[in-house]
Amino acid sequence: MTDMTATYAALEPTRAEKFRQRTVPLILFAVVLLVIPLFNPSRSMVTLLNHMGITIVFALSYNMLLGRAGLLSFGHAVYMGLGGYFAVHVMNWVAEGSGFWGAVPIFSMPAFGFGAGALAGAIIGWPSCRRSGTPFAMISLGVAELVAAAGFMFDSLFGGEMGISADRMGGPEFAGLSLGPVDEVYWFIAFWTFIGVLGTYAFTRTPLGKLSEATRDNPERVEFVGYNPQRVRYLVFIFAGAFAGMAGGMSAVQDEIFTPESLSLIPSGAILIATYVGGIRYFTGPIMGAIVMTYMGSNLSDYTVGWLLYLGLMFVGVVMFLPNGIAGIVYGTADTLRAGRLGEVWQSWLLRLAGLALIATSVITIVEVAFRWSEGYGEVFEPFGLHLGTDNPLTWALGVLPLVLGVVMVMKAAKGESK
Amino acid sequence: MTASLELTDLHKSFGPAKIIQGVNLSVARGERHAIIGPNGAGKSTLFNLISGRFMPSSGEVRLNGALISGKKPFEINRMGLSRSFQVSNIFTNMTVRENVRCGVLHSMGYGYSFWRNIGNLREVSEKTAHILNEVGLLEKGNTPAALLPYADQRTLEIAITIAGGAEVILLDEPTAGMSHSETDRAVALIEKASKGKTLLIVEHDMGVVFNLADRISVLVYGEIIATGTPEQIRGDARVREAYLGEEAEDAA
Amino acid sequence: METLVFALLNGVIYGLLLFMLSSGLTLIFSMMGVLNFAHASFYMLGAYLAFTIMEGTSFWIALFLAPVLVGLVGMVVERYGLRRVHAQGHVAELLFTFGLAYLIDEVVKIFWGRTAVNYRVPELLDFPLFTLYGAQYPAYRIFILFVAAFMLVALWYLLKKTRAGLIIQAALTHPHMVGSLGHNVPLIFMSVFGVGCALAGLAGVIGGNYFVTDPAMAVQMGPIVFVVVVVGGLGSLEGAFVAAMLIGLLQTSAISINASLADIFGFLGLGPHTEVGEITIASMAPMLPFLLLVLILMIRPRGLMGEREV
């Protein structure tokens, strides 16, 4: 028996390993959150960071469904939206400031969003979670359409097209933050982002979190070890709704407004894309996806009107060729480096990178030229002083040749690696 | 004393096809009972009826006297009946240890708990390690289940089945597809794991059946044509005629 | 009476268009297990292609050419996209078509702009066919009726009377058996996907000038087509037909009902000037299909006529 206990100890991660793999990343994350303001980011940068924090929590909550429980939802924004709307209403009650509400700090809004999201998940999840797979996806779509339509219908709750706005400066201050200037809002967002990351991570370590993975892999077997898979899905769904609602509460304070649009299929689709592109098999995948997508959404749209097209291309590319997403690349690269195999693979990596760059060149040329042509103002795409009009043979060459060459190179790299 | 498992006049039809036609069977506590029969006799269907995967068309199943037919699989499991599958039915994306832990959790009272850290549940970890040790998979505890060799996957299948400590264990062809030496090891494991428990086993390997079973039932076309000790079955003319043929002599 | 007859006629036409879309989706889903999220995007593509072809030539050429082109695009998508993703399972396939819908939307915006195009009814059919209760009824709507009926018969003939149809029918009920019987499954998949998309394209050709041809038409139509397929029962063309008609009639008749909830539920004490009471049945019309979807999936997951559970 002593012999066995020894082996059992060897099976479990050691204290040092646990610290390194679980505690250190969280500390690092906290340190990053604390250090960012030291760089004196601009106001617009802080706003962008705040939106990143909100999207991180939202994406993590979405991945509780898609990645961990295997439930594809087309309507997750419903829970963020309802949580956010509730928070906006609470903020207005706080502003009126009588009785109980007068004592509620605005800082606590994400907690209210959490509760509202959980409640919405508990109500809507009841009929939805009896099925998994495609039916679940369909029900989520139907529910999202219903809730969004209701959102446009009930003006007193959702404010119609204009939405409902609130003021984050009301109520008692918390930790000396008036939440007026955007860099004070940063601390609010940083705090709740950390809580969101910690909470969703802790959830993966609970018996229920493990069971949700088991239910994803094999719902039938779960039944034969004493669990009701429908109950597992339902409970996970409530938590996913709760954390989405928390993101809604964060957004309510940051942007001070919610519109019925936030309940619709569009934000639901966006979070699906962000989470999947980040990588649903890894806990950190959605975080990466949220950062990249928020950045692209806010910056790429300044550079090009075709950014949605790039987004779509990226998403389809990830679905087809990189099912593990950005996180898959990051961890795969790290593993290769750690195993000291860089010497074997660097050639094919370089080949692939060059191929991808060539493909990107063509795609960007085609898209940019096409958009300018379609707008019909006679504007011309002029990168690096080149004059790429539709009548310029160089345009056509750049649109086709690098694409062909790049595809050949990438295919060659893939073939080399599979050997 | 009530039987551990009692099937009374059990019927199951799929549309016009009558698969199980009036099965009566009583398995005593602590008995190792094997069900044999030709392909298509309804052995797996019988298991599915007992474990709650299918609803019987008529008749009843009792576990320690309590009616379980009509209950859901997870309810039956909680009442102390656990089963394995003919085709390995494991959690492929989890490690071996996590697989067994899923089998342990409910019996240790951790239901759908979301306020505990699974890593800190010492009893669960110890029970898991104990089961892994018993089936000989302790060394491979951190291997992803999908990467296990076939025989080990079959063993893991049994490990998950016994992990919850159920009193009645149903094994559906546990040695199917195994080599001789693997089969011997599996039989030793089944003997050890079923000590003090009630075992119902479907098996094609007659060597295994006659070695392991206290009693044997022969299922042909959805009916049990004979039940008895291995000697009785071996001597039963109808069984020899209907099913065993030469195999019985080989096994003897 | 007058409103009822018109609502009925319009409902049937809308229902037939929905069926044209959902029949393709049903075929694709039941054979390949893929719920093609981009199906309505092919419908949109059909409308836009018809618009362009009509500008160069005539509506009648567009009527034949546009669906064929859309079908070809569908085949290419199946061959070089879906087939690759197939190994990763149904969720990946669904995600792929989801991304595809995104892409088609954007590409359409590049080629045809962000606002509606002037895709008109051909002059030959642009006249009132008959006058009913003093209101004129456009001939083009009856034309839609005929095209849809023709398609219905053609589809029925294809499925019931030809060898290819028999294989497809077999694949509908026993998807795994067909390959074992020595048929070229990848080719069947590609063809069925192509035909399904072509049907969507045809619906676009005749529906695009009946409704509006703009980049939002796919997003508006897509979810409703899903509803039809799921409500009708996956794998059941008959079910899709019944569901399409049901939803077509439901929506068009709801639009023509001006009664408010207060008028109907007034006896329960719902006041006419409360927020809920003021909602009219007409304004609830867009919600009805989704309400139906959620109800059906809760009460009868097989759908109206489906044999398999969703």
pLDDT of residue A288: 96
**In chain C, % of residues over pLDDT 90:** 19
**B233: CATH:** 3.40.50.300
Spatial separation of the C-alpha atoms in residues C29 and C23, rounded to whole Å? 10
Domain range for B8 is 1-78+206-252
CA separation, residue C213 to residues B241, C116, C206, C217 (Å): 75, 6, 11, 7
Q: Is residue B87 part of a domain?
A: no
Instruction: Establish if B134 belongs to a structural domain.
Output: no
B41 in helix, strand or coil? coil
Contacts of A217 in chain B (CB under 8 A): 91-94
Within-domain flag for B92 = no
**Number of domains chain A contains:** 2
Classify residue B10: in a domain, yes or no.
yes
Specify whether the CB–CB gap between A63 and A199 falls below 8 A: no
Any CB–CB contact under 8 A between A133 and chain C? yes
Q: Which chains touch C (3 or more CB pairs under 8 A)?
A: A
Q: What does the pLDDT read at residue A110?
A: 96
Averaged pLDDT, groups of 10, chain B, 252 residues long:
86 87 91 89 90 91 90 92 89 91 88 82 87 88 90 92 91 88 90 90 88 90 89 83 56 46
Angle (CA) C194-C108-C111 rounded to 5° is 120
**What is the domain-level CATH number for residue A64?**
1.10.3470
**pLDDT confidence band for C303 (50 / 70 / 90):** confident
Structural domains in chain B (count): 1
Q: Does A262 fall in a domain?
A: yes
Q: What is the maximum span of chain B, computed from C-alpha positions, in angstroms?
A: 61
Interchain CB distance below 8 Å, A225 and B116: no
Name the residue with tokens 């309507």.
A75
For residue A1, what pLDDT is reported? 44
Rounded to whole angstroms, the Cα distance separating B57 from B10 reads 8
Distance from CA of B201 to the nearest CA of A (A): 17
Q: Mutating which of C79, C294, C299, C302 best tests the A interface, going by the most A Cβ atoms within 10 A?
A: C294
Domain contains B7 = yes
Q: In chain C, how many H helices and how many E strands? A: 14, 2
Angle at A190 between CA A180 and CA A303, to 5 degrees: 80
3+ Cβ–Cβ pairs closer than 8 Å linking C and B: no
* Residue A8 lies inside a defined structural domain of this protein: no
In a domain, A58, yes or no: yes
Residues A235 and B112: beta-carbon distance below 8 Å: yes
Same domain, A52 and A188: yes
Maximum alpha-carbon separation in chain A: 82
Answer whether A158's CB lies under 8 Å from A85's CB. Answer: yes
Q: Helical H runs in B136-239?
A: 150-163, 180-193, 206-212, 230-235, 237-239
**Are both A294 and A363 inside the same structural domain?**
no
* H or E segment to which residue B231 belongs: helix B230-235
Clarify whether residues A208 and A301 are in a common domain.
Answer: yes
Higher pLDDT, A305 or B128: B128
> Does residue B140 lie in a domain region?
no
Find the domain containing A355 and state its range.
341-418
- What length does chain A have? 419
Query: Within this chain, do residues A254 and A146 fall inside the same structural domain, yes or no?
Result: yes
Record the tokens describing residue A56, joined without a space.
């991180």
Residue A109 shares a structural domain with residue A225: yes
In a domain, A4, yes or no: no
State the DSSP code for B243: I
Closest by CA position to B93, among listed A282, A8, A9, A71: A282
Q: Of A86, A92, A144, give the one whose Cα is nearest residue A116.
A: A86
Q: Pick the residue with more confidence: C234 or B153?
A: B153
A220 and A75 in a single domain? The answer is yes
On whether residue B23 sits in a domain, the answer given is yes
- What are the C-alpha distances in Å from C18 to residues B60, C22, C113? 48, 6, 26
Please indicate, yes or no, if residue A209 is contained in any of the structural domains: yes
Please report the number of interchain residue pairs, chain A to chain C, with beta-carbon separation below 8 angstroms. Answer: 112
Which of B53, B68, B74 is the mutation pick for testing A, counting most A CBs within 10 A? B74
The answer to the question of residue B17 being in a domain is: yes
**A368 and A302, same domain (yes or no):** no
The interface predicted TM-score (ipTM) is: 0.87
pLDDT for the residue A252: 95
Write phi, then psi, for A340 (nearest 5 degrees).
65, 30
Q: Name which of A1-5, A196-200, C150-154, C305-309 the model is least confident about.
A: A1-5
Residue A389 maps to a domain: yes
Three-class secondary structure of residue A346 per DSSP: helix
